Chains A and B, each alone.
Chain A
C-alpha cells in the first residue's frame, strides 16, 4: 500500500513547495487556501513546506552530536590509552579535501544558475557536484587501500580504528548527500522550478555541512595523531 501512494504524495508536496515558499509567517498562517474539494485540499496544504528546512536543521544538529560523541571518545582515549599508535595520514586525503571543497563551490554556482533560470547550466553544474562527491568517496577508498597496504587495519590500534570509523561514518553520510543530489537532478524540471530551488537549497545545507564536517574531522585526525 505505501508503495502505491508514495508517488502521488511526493508530487503533491512538490506542487505545494511552490505555493508556500514565500510566507515567512509562523505555521499558523499556513491555511490561507480557501476553496477546493475537502480531502484533496487538505492533503495539498496541510504539510507545510517549511517542515523540510526545519527537519534538515534538526537533523544536522543530530548528526553533529553523533560526530561530536565520536570526537569526545577520540580525545579521551588519546589522552589515556596505551594502545595508541600514531600513523601518517595518506597524502591523498589532501587531494580529496580539495575535491570536496570544490564541490561546495560548484553546488553554489549551480544554485546561482537556477536562480538565473538557466536550467541547462544548473543541470551541468549540479551533475558536476554529484561527480565530485563520488570522486571524493572513491578517493577515501583509495586512502583506505593505501593504509591497508601499509599494514594499518581497523583493529590495529585505537588511532587507526578511529580513522576508519570517522572516514567510514562520514562517507556514509556523504553518500546520503550524493543520493539527495541525484534525487534532485533526476526529477522533472519544467513546472516545478520553485520547488526545485527549495530542494536544492535543502540539499545544499546538507552538502556544505558534510564539507565542513570533513574539514573538522581531518583537522582532528591530523592534529590528534
Chain B
C-alpha cells in the first residue's frame, strides 16, 4: 500500500528505471509503442527476405544467404516465403494497426486512462514478441522441427491476439468517458472494437486448429492426415512435401488475417480522410454499419469454410469467397471516402497522401478481386503470380499505406515532433509508383501463364515473354525497397531532430487525444476527467469561427463567427 501512496503524489515520483519504463510497463502507451517498434523491425526484416526471393527468382546463380550454396533445397525457398509472409502478416499488418496504434490511441480516443486489463495487455505484448523469436528460430531450424516451432509460434501469436481482442472490446464497452456514447465514437475506435470482437472469435478457432496440428506432430495423432492429402496432389507437388506443407499452413493461418488486418485500416483511413478534408465523414452511420458488415461477413464466410472443412488446413482454399464477401461493405466504404473527398479543401500532406494511396490501391485490388470470384481462376494455385499480386496490393501494401498514414498523422502526438514532410512526400511517391510497378505486372504474369497453361500453347514462347517481366519486377522491387531507406532515415532523424510541435493539436483535429500534451502525460488526461459533448467529425460546421469543433469543448465555449 505504501508504494502506491508514493506514486499517487501529484509531483512526478522519481522516474522508474529504463527497463521498468519500457519493457515492464503496463501503461497502454508504452505497450502500444513497443508493438510499433516490433512492427518496424519486422517490416524491414520482411522486406530483406522479399528481396532475397526476388533476386533468387531472376538470377538463381547469385549466391545468397539461406537460398544458395550448401543445403539449398526447394524447402528452403518455401520456408523463406513463409517466413516473409508470417513476419509481414502477423507482426506488421496485424500487430501495427490494431495492437500498436490501437493500444496507444484507443484509451486516449475514448477518454479512458488505461486499457481494461493492463497486465493482460503486457502479457499479450510479450507473447507476441516471443512469437517473433519463435518464427525466426523456426526459419533457421531444421525443416521438421521448424514446422513444429512455427505452429507453436503462431499459436502463441493467436493467444496474444485473443487477449488483445478481449482487452479492446472490454475497454470500448466499459471504459468510455462521460458523454462518449456509441454514435460519438471515432470510426477508428469502431474499427478496433469490431476487430477486437472478431479476434476473440477467429483466433480461438485458429488456436484450436493449432492444438490439433501440434498434437499431430508431437503425439502422432491423425487429425489432419497430411500424407493422404499429399498423395492426392499431382505427382510433381508430392515429390517435395515440405514446401507444400509450409505453403498450406501459411495460407491456412493468414486467410483469416485478411479481415483482421484490413478492418483497423479502414477505420484509420476514414479518420484521416475526414480530418484532412475538413469535412465530416460522409454517411458516417452507414460506414459504421459497413465496418460491422466487414466483420460479420468476414467471420461468417471464413467461419463457414472452417466449420465445413473441420478446420482442416489441407482442405481447398477459397479465395473467391474471401474476395466476394467484402464486395458490398467495401463499396460503401469506397463511396463514403469519395463522398468525403468530394468538393473538399483537401490538405495534401504526407499522411493524407498515404490515405488516398490506400484508396487507390484498394480500388485496384478490388478490381482484380473480381477475377478471383471466378472459381476456375481462384482455384488455379495459391502460389500463382496473379494471387500473389492481388494479395500484396490489396492487403499487404494497402494496409502498409494505412499504417504509414496513421504514423505521419500521430507522430507529433507520439513523440512531440513532426516527421519531415518533404522526405515523406518523396518517400510516398517513390513507394506509390514502386508498388504499382511491382505488383501490376505480377497480375499480368499470372493471367498470361494461366491462359497459356489451358490453351496449351508452346512453353518456350511463354518463357520468352515471362523472363523480362520477371526481371523488371525484381528491379522495381529492389528500387522500392531502397526507397524505404528514405522513410527509415526520416523516422530516425525526426525522432531526435524533427521540427518540435509545441501546440497539442497541430492538425486541428477533433478527437480527445489532441486535447492533451504531446506526448501525453503518464495518466493521459491529468487531473480532470475528459467529458465529451459531440461526435468525432464536426468539421466545417456553418456559423462557427473554427473549421473544427473538438469533442471535449463545452458547448458554451464554442466560438461563433461574426
On A, residues with C-beta under 8 Å from B are: 1-2, 4-6, 8-9, 11-12, 26-31, 37-40, 42-43, 46-48, 50-51, 54-55, 58-59, 61-63, 65-70, 72-77, 83, 154-155, 157-158, 161, 165, 169
Task: Give 8 new A-B contacts, CB below 8 A, not counting A31-B529, A58-B169, A83-B222.
Answer: A4-B3, A5-B3, A38-B10, A46-B112, A51-B170, A55-B170, A61-B201, A74-B310
Instruction: Check A47–B114 contact: CB distance below 8 A.
Output: yes
Q: Which residues in B have their C-beta under 8 angstroms from that of A29?
A: 178
Contact: A2 with B24, CB < 8 Å? yes
In the complex, which residue of chain A has the Cβ closest to the Cβ of B10?
A: A38
| B463 beta carbon closer than 8 Å to chain A | no
B49 within 8 A of A: no
**Across-interface contacts of A9 in B (CB, < 8 A):** 4
* Nearest B residue (CB) for A48: B174
A75 to B215, CA, bound (A): 18
With A1-B16, A28-B181 known as contacts, the answer to whether A51 contacts B116 (CB < 8 A) is yes
- Is B173 a contact of A27 with CB atoms below 8 Å? yes
Cα A158 to Cα B205 in complex, Å, equals 19
- What residues of chain B lie closer than 8 Å to A5, measured between beta carbons? 3-4
Contact status A69-B176, CB under 8 Å:
no
* B191 interface hit (Cβ, 8 Å): no
Complex contact B4–A65 (CB within 8 A): no
Output the least CB separation between A92 and chain B (Å): 23
Note all chain B residues with C-beta closer than 8 A to A31.
177-178, 529
Whole-angstrom CA separation of A11 from B169 in the bound complex: 24
Task: Give the shortest distance, in Å, between B474 (CB) and chain A (any CB).
Answer: 40
Cβ–Cβ < 8 Å partners of A50 in chain B: 174
**Among B138-146, B206-214, B401-409, B549-557, the stretch in contact with A:** B206-214
Contacts of A73 in B (CB 8 A): 208-209, 212, 223, 310-312
**Could you show 21 A-B contacts with beta carbons less than 8 Å apart?**
A2-B122, A26-B176, A31-B529, A37-B10, A40-B5, A40-B8, A46-B114, A47-B175, A51-B173, A55-B166, A62-B165, A65-B201, A66-B205, A68-B205, A69-B204, A69-B306, A70-B208, A73-B212, A77-B223, A165-B211, A165-B212
Q: How far, in angstroms, from A174 to B220 measured CA to CA in the complex?
A: 25
* Count of chain B residues with a beta carbon within 8 Å of a chain A beta carbon: 65
- Is B20 located at the chain interface by the 8 A CB criterion? yes
B 4-41 binary contact with A (CB < 8 Å = 1; else 0): 11011110000010011000111000000000000000
Q: Which residue of A lies closest to B176 (CB)?
A: A27
A47 near B310 (CB under 8 angstroms)? no
The tally of CB-CB contacts under 8 A between chains A and B is 163
> How many Å lie between the Cα of A26 and that of B529 in the bound state?
16
Interface string of B103-145 (1 = CB under 8 A from A): 0000000001110110100100000000000000000000000
With contact pairs A4-B3, A61-B200 given, residues A76 and B221 touching in the complex (Cβ less than 8 Å):
no
Q: Which residues of A contact B526 (CB under 8 A)?
A: 38
Q: Is A8's CB under 8 angstroms from B3's CB?
A: yes
**Is the CB–CB distance between A83 and B225 below 8 Å?**
yes
Contact A76 B117 (CB under 8 A): no
Once A8-B3, A12-B4, A31-B178 are accepted as A-B contacts, the answer to whether A161 and B221 lie under 8 Å apart by CB is: yes
| A65 in contact with B169 given A40-B8, A77-B310 (CB within 8 Å) | no
Closest A residue to B123 by beta carbon equals A2
* Residues on the A chain within 8 Å of B235, using CB: none
- Complex contacts, A158 vs chain B, CB 8 Å: 221-223
CB distance from A75 to the nearest CB of B (A): 7
> Contact: A39 with B307, CB < 8 Å?
no
Looking at the assembled complex, report how far the CB atom of A166 sits from the nearest CB atom of chain B, in whole angstroms.
11
| Interface pair A51/B174, CB less than 8 Å apart | yes
CB distance from A214 to the nearest CB of B (A): 17
Inter-chain contact B179/A28, CB cutoff 8 Å: yes
User: Which residues in B have their C-beta under 8 angstroms from that of A75?
Assistant: 310
Query: Which residue on chain A has the smallest CB distance to residue B309?
Result: A76
**How far, in Å, is A205 (CB) from chain B's closest CB?**
15
Question: B219 in the interface, Cβ–Cβ < 8 Å?
Answer: yes
Which one, B1, B204, B211, B529, contacts A63 given CB within 8 A?
Answer: B204
Query: B127: shortest Cβ distance to chain A, in Å?
Result: 15
Q: Which residues of A contact B222 (CB under 8 A)?
A: 83, 155, 157-158, 161
B308 contacts partner chain A, Cβ-Cβ < 8 Å:
yes
Residues of A within 8 A of B171 (CB): 51
CA distance A187 to B454 in the complex (A): 71
The answer to the question of B395 belonging to the interface, with a C-beta cut-off of 8 Å to chain A, is no
Structural contact, A1 and B24, CB atoms closer than 8 A: yes
Contacts of A37 in B (CB 8 A): 8, 10
Contacts of A155 in B (CB 8 A): 219-222
Chain A residues within an 8 Å CB radius of B312: 73, 76
Flag if A39 contacts B7 (CB, 8 Å): yes
Q: In the bound complex, what is the Cα–Cα distance between A150 and B176 (angstroms)?
A: 57
B516 part of interface (Cβ distance < 8 Å) = no
**B residues 483-498 touching A (CB-CB < 8 Å):** none
B460 is an interface residue with CB less than 8 A from chain A: no
Chain B residues 166 to 194 lying within 8 A of chain A, measured CB to CB, are 166, 169-171, 173-181
Query: Which 8 pairs from chain A and chain B are nearest by CB?
Result: A76-B310, A8-B4, A69-B208, A161-B221, A73-B310, A1-B20, A69-B205, A66-B204
When C-beta atoms are compared, the residue in chain A nearest to B120 turns out to be A55
B162 on the interface (CB 8 Å rule)? Answer: yes
Which chain B positions have C-beta within 8 A of A169?
A: 211
Contact B117 A55 (CB under 8 A): yes
Interface centre among B26, B112, B197, B310 (most CB of A within 10 A): B310
Q: B523 at interface (Cβ–Cβ under 8 A)?
A: yes
Proximity string of chain B (221-255) to chain A, C-beta cutoff 8 Å, 1 when within and 0 when not: 11101000000000000000000000000000000
Q: How far is the CA of A96 from the CA of B471 in the complex (A)?
A: 66
A65 to B165, CA, bound (A): 14
Q: How far, in Å, is B166 (CB) from chain A's closest CB? A: 6
Contacts of B3 in A (CB 8 A): 4-5, 8
From known contacts A1-B24, A66-B204, A155-B221, infer whether A28 and B112 are also in contact, taking CB-CB under 8 Å: no
The reply to whether B170 and A69 form a contact with Cβ atoms under 8 Å apart is: no
| Whole-angstrom distance between the Cβ of B557 and the nearest chain A Cβ | 20
Given contacts A76-B312, A161-B215, contact A62 B162 (CB under 8 A): yes
How far apart sit A158 and B175, CA to CA, in the bound complex (Å)?
A: 46
CA distance A67 to B169 in the complex (A): 21
A39 near B112 with CB under 8 A, answer no
In the complex, whether B464 has a CB less than 8 A from a CB of chain A is no
Q: Is the CB of B311 within 8 A of A58?
A: no
Please name all residues of chain B whose beta carbon is closer than 8 Å to the beta carbon of A165 when the two chains form the complex.
Answer: 211-212, 215, 221
CB atoms of A46 and B219 under 8 A apart: no
Residues of A contacting B19 with CB < 8 Å?
1
- B269-309 interface code vs A (CB 8 A; 1 in, 0 out): 00000000000000000000000000000000000001111
Closest residue on chain A to residue B113 by CB atoms: A46
